[in-house]
Amino acid sequence: MRLYIEKKDLEHLLENKSEYIGNNITWDTIFAAVSFLLSALTANYDSFFMIPSIIIKYFFIVIGVLYLFKIGKEFMTKKYNYENLINDINNLDLVAHRHSLVIIKNKDKYLLYDDERWQCKLFINYKTKDENNETAIKEALEKDLQLDTSTINCEFVTSRTQEKYSVSHNENRIYNHSLYSITLSKLPAYMKKDNFVINNKHYYWMTMDEMLSDSNIKEKNLEVVYFVKDSIS
């Protein structure tokens, strides 16, 4: 999965987390600090110049206590690791939607459906899964179009991240579209009609020229149409 991140946002995150990165307190560090403190408590020191031995002993004891307190506090409070950093970086991702565009062709025509939210004919699409996305697409097509998954061949083509206006949210949003080409070993009879309805959803076969001539599609989804046109012949 690709992320879309502003450079300044990443730099700001790394700057804020710099003191945590590579600063994991382990048990051997704590053991070393305890060992140092015990050595300071049990060791005998000679006087050094005008400094009495007891002052030297107390000095090392204080250093040992302060160091042990410091690493103990860090061990208890700083739980930031590489997984936390990855999560923080993922949260910087500006991509609002990750969708898989499912392209089904019949000769020179493409299968679209009438989307109620957008009030526009769109390519079939599903939210992209992080794992087993092609399997999820086949299962969704089996449910929506009443197809047998054994007749569906799903092939990833390419992906693109782009900013476009979201009709359903009334604002510009960044989308990542993964493009999949679907081949059916057998086209059901009901799908051979110019348009048909399945599960209360209206489907249409349209050529690329028809889509580019449709004023509603041009206004609301032209970027995606060109993406498909450029990627699938």
* HEC letters along 67-103: HHHHHHHHHHHCCCCHHHHHHHHHHCCCEEEEEEEEE
Distances from the Cα of 66 to the Cαs of 23, 27, 30, 60, in angstroms?
A: 18, 17, 12, 10
**pLDDT tens digit string along 17-68?**
655 555 555 566 666 767 777 777 777 777 777 788 888 778 888 887 887 7
Q: Taking 70 as the threshold, does the pLDDT of residue 123 lie above it?
A: yes
**Span(s) in the chain for CATH 3.90.79.10:** 96-231
Among the residue ranges 36-50, 67-81, 171-185, the one predicted with the least confidence is 67-81
Higher pLDDT, 88 or 2: 88
Class of domain 96-231: alpha beta
Return the residue matching tokens 């083509």: 157
Q: Taking 70 as the threshold, does the pLDDT of residue 69 lie above it?
A: yes
Q: How confident is the model at residue 161 (pLDDT cuts 50, 70, 90)?
A: confident
CB 106 within 8 A of CB 189: no
- Is residue 48 classed exposed, middle or buried when 0-12, 13-18 and 19+ CB atoms within 10 A define those classes? exposed
